[in-house]
């Protein structure tokens, strides 16, 4: 082929790659701008302080859903962060052999399991024996979704700590466990916090597993054993409802979720800019 044609083809196809990335970035812009436009007007003080109102009654908010979501996320974090961080430290420092390989592989696989299937799992093992929906079953479902992200991010963070620091501590006569807990882990704390933040960001907007665990509620419910409102669930239920004032609340909820999730993600990345596991 003549050189000019090859060069023209080259220029054309490289432009196409720019278009591909442009499409992806434009989609993000479309979605975010539209959610801000529709959700912005919904975010009044009422939204954060009032209970949902029946159709046609103005001034309704999503306060119970916001508090419910925070409660569920906090409970899920209490379960997932310690286990995930410890397992991540294990993989980074002690991990060899079948256990480490298995945990690494199945953590990666677990990140791809549909969240709705994990919801069915939590339903089967907690809601069915309990005989009612509850916030704690939702927390268990979300903790399973968070766990692999925390494990793999913690592993990466701890691996990045220079082993010479730990070896120095060992050479000075420190016990192996103290060298890990007092020297290596503190050096990796930014990355470990990042893992926790990414885990929370991953589940903060999850709605599918909450359908059959938290279930949703129109009232204030602060009991972990009772059905609980959650913001992503409210967005779903109100978005598909045929009432405009409910749809407005749904847009407000969508905007709140997107802001929360982006804030968590951007903070996590600024805190620990190294390559994150996918």
Partner 1 sequence: MSQDGVEVASIPAVVGPLRVRPSSNPIGDRLVLGAFSLAALLVLLLVVALFMTLTVAAWPAIKTIGLGAFRSVTWDPTNGKFGMLSFIYGTIVTSAIALLLAGPIGIGAALLLAEVAPRRLATPVAMLIELLAAVPSVVYGIWGLFVLAPVMRNVIEPALGHALGFLPLFQGYFYGVGMLTAGVLLAIMILPTVSAISRDIFEAVPRDQREAMLALGATKWEVLTRAVIPYARSGIIGAIVLALGRAIGEAMAVTMVIGNKPAISASLFAPAYTLASVLANEFTEATGQQYLSALIGIGSMLFIVSMIVNMLARLLVRGAAGPRTKRV
Q: Quick one: 161 or 193, whose CB is closer to partner 1?
A: 161
CA distances (Å), 75 to each of 28, 38, 79, 87, in order?
Answer: 31, 31, 7, 19
Closest approach, Cβ 80 to partner 1, in A, equals 10
Determine which residue in the list 51, 170, 226, 248 makes contact with partner 1, applying CB under 8 A.
170
Q: Quick one: 193 or 257, whose CB is closer to partner 1?
A: 257
228: β partners: 215
Distance CA 216, CA 233 (A): 7
Distance CA 272, CA 222 (A): 34
Options 52-60, 65-73, 79-87, 218-226: segment touching partner 1 (CB under 8 A): 79-87
Options 60-68, 69-77, 189-197, 254-262: segment touching partner 1 (CB under 8 A): 254-262
The answer to whether 177 contacts partner 1 (rule: CB under 8 A) is yes
Indicate the length of the chain as a whole number: 278
CA distances (Å), 271 to each of 31, 42, 96, 101, 275, in order?
Answer: 26, 32, 28, 28, 12
Show contacts with partner 1 in window 21-50 (CB under 8 A): 21, 23-25, 27-28, 30-31, 34-35, 38
Show contacts with partner 1 in window 48-77 (CB under 8 A): none
Determine which residue in the list 42, 197, 201, 229 makes contact with partner 1, applying CB under 8 A.
201
The answer to whether 18 contacts partner 1 (rule: CB under 8 A) is yes
The answer to whether 173 contacts partner 1 (rule: CB under 8 A) is yes
Options 57-65, 66-74, 218-226, 260-268: segment touching partner 1 (CB under 8 A): 260-268
Phi, psi of 228 (to 5 degrees): -135, 145
The answer to whether 83 contacts partner 1 (rule: CB under 8 A) is yes
The answer to whether 245 contacts partner 1 (rule: CB under 8 A) is no
Show contacts with partner 1 in window 98-127 (CB under 8 A): 99-103, 105-110, 112-121, 123-125
What is the rounded radius of gyration, in angstroms, for the C-alpha atoms of the chain? Answer: 23
The answer to whether 241 contacts partner 1 (rule: CB under 8 A) is no
Closest approach, Cβ 246 to partner 1, in A, equals 12
Options 47-55, 62-70, 189-197, 209-217: segment touching partner 1 (CB under 8 A): 209-217
- x/- mask, partner 1, residues 148-167, rule CB under 8 A, reads x--x----x-xxxxxx--x-
Closest approach, Cβ 239 to partner 1, in A, equals 4
The answer to whether 269 contacts partner 1 (rule: CB under 8 A) is yes
# residues near partner 1 by CB under 8 A: 110
């Amino acid at each position: 082929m003549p050189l000019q044609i090859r060069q023209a083809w080259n220029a054309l196809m490289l432009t196409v790659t720019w278009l591909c990335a442009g499409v992806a970035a434009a989609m993000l812009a479309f979605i975010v701008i539209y959610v801000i436009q529709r959700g912005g007007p919904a975010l009044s003080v009422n939204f954060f302080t009032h209970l949902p109102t029946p159709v046609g009654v103005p001034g309704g908010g999503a306060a119970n859903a916001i508090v419910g979501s925070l409660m569920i996320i906090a409970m899920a974090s209490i379960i997932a962060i310690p286990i995930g961080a410890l397992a991540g430290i294990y993989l980074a420092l002690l991990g060899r052999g079948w256990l480490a390989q298995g945990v690494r592989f199945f953590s990666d696989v677990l990140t791809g399991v549909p969240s709705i299937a994990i919801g069915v799992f939590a339903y089967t093992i907690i809601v069915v024996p309990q005989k009612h929906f509850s916030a704690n079953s939702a927390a268990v479902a979300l903790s399973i979704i968070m766990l692999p992200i925390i494990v793999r991010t913690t592993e990466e963070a701890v691996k990045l700590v220079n082993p010479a620091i730990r070896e120095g501590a060992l050479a000075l006569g420190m016990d192996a466990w103290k060298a890990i807990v007092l020297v290596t882990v503190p050096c990796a704390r930014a990355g470990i916090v990042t893992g926790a933040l990414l885990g929370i960001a991953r589940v903060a907007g999850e709605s599918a597993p909450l359908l059959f665990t938290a279930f949703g509620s129109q009232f204030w419910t602060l009991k972990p054993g009772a059905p609980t409102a959650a913001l992503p669930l409210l967005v779903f239920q109100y978005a598909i409802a045929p009432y405009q004032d409910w749809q407005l609340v749904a847009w407000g909820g969508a905007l709140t979720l997107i802001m929360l999730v982006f804030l968590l993600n951007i903070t996590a990345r600024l805190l620990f800019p190294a390559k994150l596991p996918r």
